[in-house]
Amino acid sequence: MGNTHGRRSSQQRKHRKRPHSIAVNKPESWPSSKPSEMSRDSRQGSLRRRYSESGNYSYKTPWPLPLSEAVFLPEYDSKQPVKISDFEILATVGKGAFAHVLQVKNKQTEQLFAIKILNKAEIIKENAVQQCKDEANIQVKLGNFPFVVRTWYTWQTKHNLFIVSDFVDGSDLYTLLRQEKRLNDTTVKIYSAELAITLDYLHKSGILYRDLKLENILIDEEGHIKLVDFGLAKLVKPRERTGTICGTLQYMAPEILNGKPYSREVDWWSLGVVMYTLLVGKNPYPAKQEHCSQLSVVEDAVEIDFPSDLSDDAVSIITQLLQKDPSLRLSNVDSLKTHRYFEGLSFEVVLQKEKSPITQETLKSLRRRSIASRMKFPRKVDGHRRDKKPRPLSWASPGSFTVQDKTHMDWLVADLGSLDALNLNGKSQEARRTECLVSP
Ligand code: ADP
Ligand code: MG
């Protein structure tokens, strides 16, 4: 947190040294402090001009940074330490709410990376600027934890944001469950121990994850987990509570769904949903369309429906994680690892990755399945080819991440051109996204 502030304020100081100039026309309703200069600018068709402190302008050093770039600083570097052309694009591996994820190869080192490309216009339209800045900030801050994907660079171009991480060349828990239908107790024990260690690490780093679900839990080439997607993560102080209604509906704790202030307990609820789903092969609470009906489903369920073949210890730990009252919920790693369900499993050994969660055979067929589902770039993406059912999307209640006021938003929109123009009315979303990708 301290670092973040340090970085931000030094960038802001840098900005303040430069006189403010923006490559858009000011809205008419805004009073201009320098009417003569404004009219001169609009006659000449450009505001890309530097004003000195005294109010005189200079043609020598144009200030090249439009607001739609400045607003994503300092988290996304606009000087582009790396460029998309440094990489050979191999395949599309994922597609979410604002993002495309590509598998790429560094042209010089041949190393594989994943690049998440986010579309600025959509982010601004959804009022999620701060959220995307937090995503980059948190991911970079997390460094090299064994169960979290490592992020190397973040930068921006006029229309897109880029996050470069190690490529996880395996699969994910969602695909594993589709392949296996249900997972055995040993596998679920190791995966949930890896997840619990990861949640503990995130929480101790002051991060609420808020989107724990099978699709965001990748499986690396050795079968261990790698958590991706910090798009809904939030930095919180030790006792701070937050209130944004966000997550993926069937994984959201009741206190999120009913709009109460909440904290770290929400991630432990999601772990309970993940464990149930892996052991039983379906979600404990069926998915609804929005948070009010999802809340009714959770609140109306008097008991969780466990199949008779589940062990008593599994039932007990899931019941404690899916405790509706957050103050009674099992929500720390120390209580979790001493539960009878984990008897005989050392969390130290799990952290050292000395326990394989799945067999080599399962891993091989999983990787084959995963590679087959990648789509060669720039083939249009219609979701994962082998997924007949659409994957559940992360979700936030409308306007949740509002950080700009209306005027600020108007400026950003003007800066990017018009949102309508960027939406390319009449074309499919996929077509538009692909166009953005090929002209970074
Ligand atoms: P979104 O916010 O759109 O859900 P994610 O960060 O979850 O975006 O990425 C979407 C998908 O892309 C993931 O579910 C995963 O399948 C794939 N993906 C993301 N990051 C990586 C990575 N580092 N290596 C391999 N695949 C990845
Ligand atoms: Mg995701």
Q: What is the pLDDT of residues 245-276, one digit of tens each?
A: 999 999 999 999 999 999 999 999 999 999 99
Q: Tell me where in the chain the CATH 3.30.200.20 domain(s) lie.
A: 67-168
Kindly tell me the sign of the dihedral angle through the C-alpha atoms of 241, 244, 246, 249. Answer: positive
Rounded to an integer, the average pLDDT of 318-327 is 98
State percent of the chain over pLDDT 70.
70
Q: Is the CB of 228 under 6 A from ligand 1?
A: yes
User: Do 32 and 26 form a contact (C-beta atoms < 8 A)?
Assistant: yes
Assess whether the C-beta atom of 122 lies below 6 angstroms from ligand 1: no
Which of 284, 348, 314 lies closest to 186, judged by CA?
A: 314
pLDDT at 412: 54
Q: Residue 20 burial (CB < 10 Å; 0-12/13-18/19+)?
A: exposed
Q: Is the pLDDT of residue 433 over 50?
A: no
Q: Measuring from atom 9 of ligand 1, which residue has the nearest CA?
A: 94
Confidence of residue 440 (pLDDT cuts 50, 70, 90): very low
Compute, in angstroms, the gap from residue 232 CA to the centroid of ligand 2. Answer: 9
Residue nearest ligand 1's atom 8 by CA: 96
Per-residue model confidence (pLDDT) at position 373: 80
DSSP strand pairing (395-396 vs 207-208):
unpaired
Q: What is the CATH architecture of 67-168?
A: 2-Layer Sandwich (3.30)
CATH 3.40.50.2300 correct for 171-373: no
Where does the pLDDT of residue 126 fall: very low under 50, low under 70, confident under 90, or very high at 90 and above?
A: confident
Cα of 158 from ligand 2 centre, angstroms: 24
Q: Is the pLDDT of residue 139 over 80?
A: yes
Residue 312 among the catalytic residues: no
Ligand 1 close to Cβ of residue 210 (< 6 A): no
The pLDDT of residue 408 is 53
For the chain, counts of helices (H) and of strands (E):
17, 15
Task: Considering the chain, tell me which residue range(s) the CATH 1.10.510.10 domain(s) occupy.
Answer: 171-373
Q: Which residue lies with its CA nearest to atom 1 of ligand 1?
A: 96
Average pLDDT over residues 93-108: 88
What are the pLDDT digits (tens) for 148-198? 999 999 999 989 999 999 999 999 999 999 999 999 999 999 999 999 999
Cβ-contact 408, 402 below 8 angstroms = no
**Ligand 2 centroid from CA 21, angstroms:** 37
- 114 ligand 1 Cβ < 6 A: yes
**218 pLDDT more than 60:** yes
